[in-house]
Structure 1
Amino acid sequence: MYPVRFDGSFAGWREAARHQLQRGLAPHQLSWEDGRQEADLFGQLDTIEPPAANERSVRVPRALLDQLERAARFRCNGRWALLYRILWRVAQGDHAAMMAGDVDGSELHMRLKAVRREAHHLHAFLRFKPRDATAGGPELVAWHEPAHDILASASGHFAERLGRQTWMIATPDDGVYWDGENLHHINPCPPEWKQLAQGTDDRNEAMWLAYYGSTFNPARLNRSVLETNMPVRFWRNLPEGPMIPRLMSQARAGAQADGQAQAVAVRPGKRIQAEAEQVLPVRPPA
């Protein structure tokens, strides 16, 4: 098996993959080593590329390259090997490799779905914290921990909505900064960006927590649905995250009968029974 080394980016992989295709090297002959992982000790045994036939022109559908680029954001061991295997098969005329019904195609579409969902999580669960504009730097900062490499492609969502307001998002791996006109992506994320994103206090947090707690409806709590739509791994980075287990506990302890948050239920006023408590009149038999 021959190691193929590149910088870990999709552009770097694509260039390396094109070269291996032109040389006619099959997937089982190659070991992919990007710049973010340690080299395979056994792969070091074969450091010289094998002899290959004259390089030939290779053409594949543009749609395939788009799919591979998006699937490359999925983090897992062997992410590049699957992409090359699909690319190799399509280049050989086997277009079934792109289909969800194929073994490789099924894995490809699973990764595409996971990447789309992780981008949605970024948009839904990221919380910006405002900073003093006179301090310099971004006006808003946020910390996020995505499961896949979606920050660079998905963060443009915020540029469209925040206009010329400057902001920064830091993650354990990379970061983005919007200066009001251009989006800058840096990998790895600078330590000072991480410190700024994690160390900034949100002066509006108390107001948000009061709103979130008062609008929580225990009568409609469905834990499995909640954890599916808001995965537990995001809770620790959300201001309301520490409140959720307590609100769920109160709901299980009987707060569901009120159909409203405890802080609201204790306030004076007429109590409206939940639907489960309402007694329906019994119709006499016809």
Structure 2
Amino acid sequence: MISLECDNLFSTWRDQARWLLSHQVDPSQVSWGEVQAADLFATDEPIPEGLGPFQTRVPKALLELLESAACYHGDQRWSLLYEVLWRVSHGDRTAMLAGDKLGSELQRRIKQVSREAHHLHAFVRFIALPAEAGPELPEYVAWHEPAHDILKSASQHFVGRMGRHRWMIATPLDGVYYDGEQLIHQRQCPEAWRQLAQNVEDTQSEMWLTYYSHIFNPARLNPKVMEGHLPSRFWKNLPEGKLIPGLISEARMGKQKDGQAKLIGTKPGKKIANPINVGGGLLPMAMYQSSDV
């Protein structure tokens, strides 16, 4: 068995996979360890140096699929990619397709990665730092906890949307910082970034919470659909997250029937006079009551 360590970098894995493939090393004889693994190549058998005699071409689309699936956090994160590469390089392109058992798992991982990138775009909440913070700090910061390794690629989404503003996104694993000109990715998020993103005070939070609580429509609440679009694991990092359980509880306790916010229901409203002015004359309200036809 050959044990490899790619440090969770697709570029490193690709070089290792090319070397393995050139020496016709079967997928069953290879495993990729964790970052803490002591040896890059841990095996009882001698390891040939340099590329082997076997050469093959693989579709460019395959490399794109493998790179996308490489962002998935899960068991056999890198071993599955090599198994797909092995089969395609030996003429079996069905390994790329959802109709194949292996291809189905590959496509499932790609879909999960794509969905997690969408979650980053939808649920990141940037908080503005005070103007006196200084030019050495970003103008906006955010804390996010993705399930997969999508920050580096998915954060490009904000480059064209934040203009020349400086911003930063920190996660438990990595972080990105945009200085107004280029996006800088740190594979190990600096502790200073984490502390800044998690402890910054949002001076606009009360306004946002007031707005969110008033647009929430209990009459249209579907908890299962809501969970599908806004997974509860993100609630703790959203400013409106602390409101959601209470709003759901109110909806289940009867607000779905009247759809009326508590603050609106306590207001006295306006008194409407009984007569109605029609064409300059006053007609009694009784004239406009419903009747059988």
Q: Distance in 2 between matches of 1:222 and 1:53?
A: 57
Q: Is the 8 A contact 1:219 1:259 kept in 2?
A: yes
Once the two structures are superposed, the pairs formed by residues 211-250 of structure 1 within 5 Å of their partners are 211-250=211-250
| Moved beyond 6 Å, runs of 4+ | 50-53, 281-284
Task: State which drifts further: 48-57 or 191-200.
Answer: 48-57
Instruction: Tell me the matched-pair count.
Output: 272
Once the two structures are superposed, the pairs formed by residues 1-286 of structure 1 within 5 Å of their partners are 1-34=1-34, 36-38=35-37, 44=42, 46=44, 48-49=46-47, 54-136=52-134, 137-269=137-269
**Cα deviation code 1:106-158 (max 9, x no counterpart):** 00000010001000100111111100233131000000000000000000111
Paired residue secondary structure (1:160): coil
Change (3 A) 1:283 1:100: farther
1:6 offset after TM fit, Å? 2.5
1:266 offset after TM fit, Å? 2.6
- Asked which structure has the greater CA Rg, the reply is 2
Paired residue secondary structure (2:145): coil
Task: State which drifts further: 258-267 or 197-206.
Answer: 258-267
Q: Is the 8 A contact 1:24 1:52 kept in 2?
A: no
Q: Is the 8 A contact 2:5 2:37 kept in 1?
A: no
Q: Which residue in the other structure is 2:285 paired with?
A: none
- State percent identity of aligned pairs: 54
Change (3 A) 1:266 1:55: farther
**Cα deviation code 1:4-40 (max 9, x no counterpart):** 2323200000000001001111100111125x24459
TM-score using structure 1 length = 0.89
Q: Is the 8 A contact 2:142 2:197 kept in 1?
A: yes
Change (3 A) 1:240 1:54: closer
Q: Is the 8 A contact 1:209 1:239 kept in 2?
A: yes
1:168 offset after TM fit, Å? 0.2
Q: 2:4 corresponds to which letter in structure 1?
A: V
TM-score using structure 2 length = 0.87
Q: Distance in 2 between matches of 1:244 and 1:208?
A: 13
Q: Which residue in the other structure is 2:282 paired with?
A: none
Q: Distance in 1 between matches of 2:139 and 2:60?
A: 39
Change (3 A) 1:151 1:282: farther
Q: Distance in 2 between matches of 1:53 and 1:196?
A: 46
Change (3 A) 1:37 1:267: farther
Q: Is the 8 A contact 1:2 1:48 kept in 2?
A: no
Q: Could you list the runs of 5+ residues in structure 1 that have no partner in the other structure?
A: 271-280
